[in-house]
Amino acid sequence: MTRSFEKVGVVGLGTMGAGIAEVFARAGLRVIGVEADPDALGRGRDNLENSTGRALAKGRLSEAERAEILGRITLTTSREDLADADLVIEAIPEVMDFKRALFTDLDRICKPSAVLATNTSSLSVTEIAATTGRPGRVVGMHFFNPAPVMRLVEVVHTVVTEDGLAEEIAALARRLGKTPVSVGDRAGFVVNRLLLTYLNHAAVLLENGLATRDGIDAAMKLGVGVPMGPFALLDLIGLDTSYEVMCVLFQETRDRRHAPAPILRELVTAGLLGRKTGAGFYDGQAVATPPAS
Ligand code: 3HC
């Protein structure tokens, strides 16, 4: 059976969730965006308005197109509104207990044929799937930040994913204008396993006093041609997310290359999470100057 995905739920409208909702709405799908409470919903609405407002200001969208995109997104604090969604994507914080509780609830609420997807950066999709009565219809659909811009979707299948479902999700990703890559269920999948290891290593080098933050960022941008240096990118991804991914990678592999840099933990503990809190490696007094070597 080939499913038709026309009505999509997105749970969690932080940076990633709002970006994902926008991507679906831009492709003409109807979206139900769910947040836990009115305040969080208000922030989700702001995220959507800012992102589409930016496109408007740059002349990439007309007022009418922007209104059409936002008009396809219904915002709610009630998960029950997801009852007839064809696909629900979870984009809540990277805490397994939260995800398990949410998927148990989604399994109760959503119609039996609905596919449940997680945008997890590193947690086990299999473990999330196992909390539901439909583990064969639970997959990973991993978008990248900023979701409206980055062209990849990692489609994560597990050992119990229904035959053909990963291909259907890949086709959906193409409909969104993204390129799908099929990956197995291992911590960090492909991108975060490689990328976060590199970013974490940059933090270790900073701590070792090898070079300054600005020196390392400039070296990678100018020497390798990446659009952002590692510390700018850590701030964009969020230091909390980055730290959590490293913890999961280290737990799963016990490989010391994946041991989180202490400075990451320190900044997260101090509430310096990067762009989302206004300070991280940048604008954070703690690391603006290199440590003495
Ligand atoms: N929302 C919507 N659109 C955005 C945006 C946002 N948050 N940020 C940038 N854009 C758009 C801009 O409007 C612009 O569009 P246009 O070309 O149509 O005018 C385009 O992206 C380029 O943006 P800018 O000109 O403002 O800035 P840059 O050229 O410096 O690009 C960037 C910004 C796209 C963020 C670029 O620096 C980049 O690609 N950085 C690397 C990002 C990256 O590696 N992301 C992956 C992180 S890993 C991850 O997400 C996985 C997770 O699990 C941890």
pLDDT tens-digit readout, 168-186: 999 999 999 999 999 999 9
- Which pLDDT score, from 0 to 100, does residue 2 have? 73
CA-nearest residue for atom 5, ligand 1, is 146
CA–centroid distance, 147 to ligand 1, in Å, is: 8
Look-up of token digits 């809540």: 92
Residue 292 has pLDDT above 80, yes or no: no
Q: Is 154 a catalytic residue?
A: yes
Determine contact, residues 212/162, Cβ cutoff 8 Å: no
Cα torsion angle, 209, 213, 214, 218, sign: positive
What's the whole-number mean pLDDT along residues 202-209?
A: 97
pLDDT higher than 90, residue 197: yes
Please say if the pLDDT value at position 293 is more than 50.
no
- Residues in the ligand 1 pocket, defined by CB under 6 Å: 51, 54-55, 58, 60, 121, 144-146, 148-150, 192, 195, 227-228, 233, 237, 241
Burial 232-242 (b: 16+ CB within 10 A, else e): bbbbbbbbbbb
pLDDT class for 289, splitting at 50, 70, 90? very low
Catalytic, 201? Answer no
Instruction: Categorize the per-residue pLDDT at 253 as very low, low, confident or very high, splitting at 50, 70 and 90.
Output: very high
Q: What dihedral do alpha carbons 168, 102, 129, 114 form, nearest 10°?
A: -30
Q: How confident is the model at residue 3 (pLDDT cuts 50, 70, 90)?
A: confident
Mean pLDDT over all residues of the chain?
95
The domain made up of 7-183 is a member of CATH 3.30.1330.10: no
Class of domain 191-282: mainly alpha
Percentage above 90 pLDDT, the chain: 93
Using CA positions, which residue lies closest to atom 18 of ligand 1?
A: 60
**Which pLDDT score is estimated for 74?**
98
Per-residue pLDDT, 291: 44
Do the domains spanning 7-183 and 191-282 agree at the CATH topology level?
no
Residue 208 annotated to the active site:
no
Mean pLDDT of 25-34: 98
Q: How confident is the model at residue 27 (pLDDT cuts 50, 70, 90)?
A: very high
pLDDT at 267 (0 to 100)? 97
Which pLDDT tens digit goes with each residue over 146-155?
999 999 999 9
* Domain range summary for the chain, segments of one domain joined by +: 7-183, 191-282
In ligand 1, which atom is closest to the CA atom of 19?
Answer: 1
**Could you report the per-residue pLDDT of 130-147, keeping only the tens digit for each?**
999 999 999 999 999 999
Q: How far apart are CA 203 and CA 259, in angstroms?
A: 11
Told to judge if 145 belongs to the known catalytic residues of this protein, a careful annotator would answer no
Q: Which of 119, 192, 200, 242 is catalytic?
A: 192
